[in-house]
């Protein structure tokens, strides 16, 4: 009987050792700054967001009125989410060679993104934006009963594609350019955004004073998340959106995601 108990305990330990690494592989980011209240919708449940809390593919981050959250992902992408916003991590693949893809769905609200190493897309109700190494501002909402998306390029180059049935169109945004895509209306031409509005977009999404210190989103070998909240390393701060940078052109055309893929650490698809 004693021998049987030992065998059962060893079997359970073997299962736990096999399962825990699988959970770790699902962690693709963490919360590095938080103001007010935010929740994470995961697996049919709700989790109170907290600094150093992990983000997994399929998660939907929801900020309450007055709440703001900043997320750091293992490809070094940073998402700053404004109050009363909903963002879904639709797809995330990242390998040790820094090849991969990340797709986020901004369902409602405002968000600023600092794009990391992977091919990066943000889907809105009316359009999809694709970029690499770029700083972008997004706003999604409804006006006069029509869904709209405002997209502004602060650094780099952003490729925009319409998702409005019957109104196809594409555009390329360079620093300082913006576009407003409204459901049921023809695809518009990008316009120059006034500097005061660019500054307003940054200030509305500032989490200054709420950051925690982290070593990096990835270690030097690439692809392995470091524990968030270490007391050495760099501080994830707000980016100066007014400085000039050399545009970095996207090499992959944007597309709309068809599902969630959580193959983190997988080379290719």
Give me the pLDDT at residue 261, please.
40
- Domain total for the chain? 1
Q: At 31, which CATH number?
A: 2.60.120.1440
In a domain, 11, yes or no: yes
| Cα–Cα distance measured from residue 173 to residue 156, given in angstroms and rounded to the nearest whole number | 8
Of the candidate ranges 19-28, 40-49, 245-254, the one whose mean pLDDT is the lowest: 245-254
In a domain, 208, yes or no: yes
- Residues 9-23, mean pLDDT to the nearest whole number: 44
- Residues 203-216 have pLDDT tens digits of 878 766 555 444 44
At residue 23's C-alpha, the angle toward residues 22 and 25, to 5°, is 65
Domain extent for 66? 2-235
**Residue located via tokens 């998660």:** 59
Residue 125: which of 177, 169, 181, 178 has the closest Cα? 181
In a domain, 163, yes or no: yes
- Residues 223-268 have pLDDT tens digits of 333 433 333 333 444 433 333 333 333 333 334 433 434 343 434 3
Exposed/middle/buried for residue 19 (C-beta within 10 Å: 0-12, 13-18, 19+): exposed
Average pLDDT, the chain: 77
Give me the pLDDT at residue 117, please.
80
Q: Which residue has the higher pLDDT, 231 or 69?
A: 69
Total count of residues recorded for the chain: 269
Q: What is the DSSP string of 127-162?
A: EEEEESS-EEEEEEEEETTEEEEEEEEEES-EEEEE
Residue 52 binned pLDDT confidence (cut-offs 50, 70, 90): very high
Q: Are strands 100-114 and 119-123 parallel, antiparallel or unpaired?
A: parallel
Structure tokens at 129: 């934006």
């Amino acid at each position: 009987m004693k021998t049987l108990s030992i065998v059962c305990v060893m079997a359970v330990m073997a299962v736990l050792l096999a399962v825990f690494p699988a959970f770790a592989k699902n962690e693709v980011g963490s919360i590095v700054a938080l103001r007010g209240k935010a929740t994470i919708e995961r697996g049919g449940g709700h989790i109170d967001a907290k600094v150093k809390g992990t983000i997994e593919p399929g998660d939907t981050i929801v900020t309450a009125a007055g709440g703001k959250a900043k997320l750091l992902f293992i490809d070094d992408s940073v998402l700053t989410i404004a109050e009363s916003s909903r963002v879904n991590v639709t797809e995330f693949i990242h390998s040790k060679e820094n090849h991969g893809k990340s797709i986020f769905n901004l369902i409602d609200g405002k968000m600023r993104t600092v794009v990391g190493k992977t091919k990066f897309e943000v889907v809105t109700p009316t359009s999809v934006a694709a970029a690499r190494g770029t700083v972008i501002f997004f706003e999604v909402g409804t006006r006069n009963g029509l869904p709209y998306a405002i997209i502004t390029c602060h650094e780099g180059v952003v490729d925009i594609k319409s998702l409005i049935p019957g109104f196809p169109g594409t555009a390329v945004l360079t620093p300082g350019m913006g576009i407003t895509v409204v459901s049921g209306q023809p695809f518009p031409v990008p316009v120059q955004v006034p500097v005061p509005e660019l500054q307003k977009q940054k200030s509305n999404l500032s989490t200054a004073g709420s950051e925690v210190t982290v070593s990096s989103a990835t270690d030097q070998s690439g692809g392995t998340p470091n524990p968030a909240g270490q007391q050495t390393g760099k501080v994830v701060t707000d980016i100066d959106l007014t400085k000039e940078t050399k545009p970095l052109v996207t090499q992959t055309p944007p597309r709309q995601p068809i599902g969630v893929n959580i193959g983190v650490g997988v080379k290719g698809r």
